[in-house]
Amino acid sequence: MADQQAAADQPGPDGLLEPARQALERGDYGLCLRLLQPLAEAHGASSPFGGSVRLLMATAQMGQGDSAAAASTCRSLRVCRDATLRAQAKDLQEVLEAPALERPREWSMTLPSLGEMQSLEGDFKAMARRRRRQQPSAPPPPPTGPTRAPWGFALVAVALLALTALLGGCVQLDTSLRFTAPGRIQVGQISRSATDQPLPWQRQLATALRETPFKIRQDHGRQTLTAPVLPAAEALALLSQTMEEAARLAALDLPAPQLDLRERNWLVGVRQDLRLAIDLRAVQDLPGLALGLSLEPFHRRAVHLAEPLPVVVVPSAHGRAAEGQRLHWDLQPGAVNRLEASSWRWSRLGLGSLAIAALLALVLVLQRLRLLAGFGLPELPS
* Secondary structure element (H or E) that encloses residue 348, with its range: helix 348-372
Domain regions of the chain by residue span? 16-96, 171-346, 349-382
C-alpha 10: how far from chain center: 33
Give pLDDT tens digits along the chain (382 positions).
444 444 444 555 667 788 888 888 888 888 888 888 888 888 888 888 888 888 888 888 888 888 888 888 888 888 888 888 888 888 888 888 777 656 666 666 666 555 544 555 566 566 666 666 655 565 665 555 454 544 444 443 333 333 333 344 467 888 888 887 777 888 888 888 877 788 787 888 888 888 888 888 888 888 888 888 888 888 888 888 888 887 787 777 778 788 788 877 776 677 888 888 888 888 877 676 788 888 888 778 888 888 888 888 887 665 554 456 788 888 888 889 998 988 777 767 777 888 888 899 998 888 888 788 877 666 666 5
Enumerate residues 6+ apart whose C-beta is below 8 A from 55. 74, 77, 85, 88, 89, 92
Rounded-to-integer distance, Cα 303 and Cα 72, Å: 56
DSSP 319: B
Rounded Cα gap, residues 93 and 74, in angstroms:
6
d(CA 185, CA 270): 14
Q: What is the model's pLDDT at position 378?
A: 64
Distance between CA atoms of residues 269 and 179, nearest Å: 14
The CATH number that domain 16-96 falls under is 1.25.40
Name the region of 331 (left: φ>0; alpha: ψ -120 to 50; beta: rest).
beta
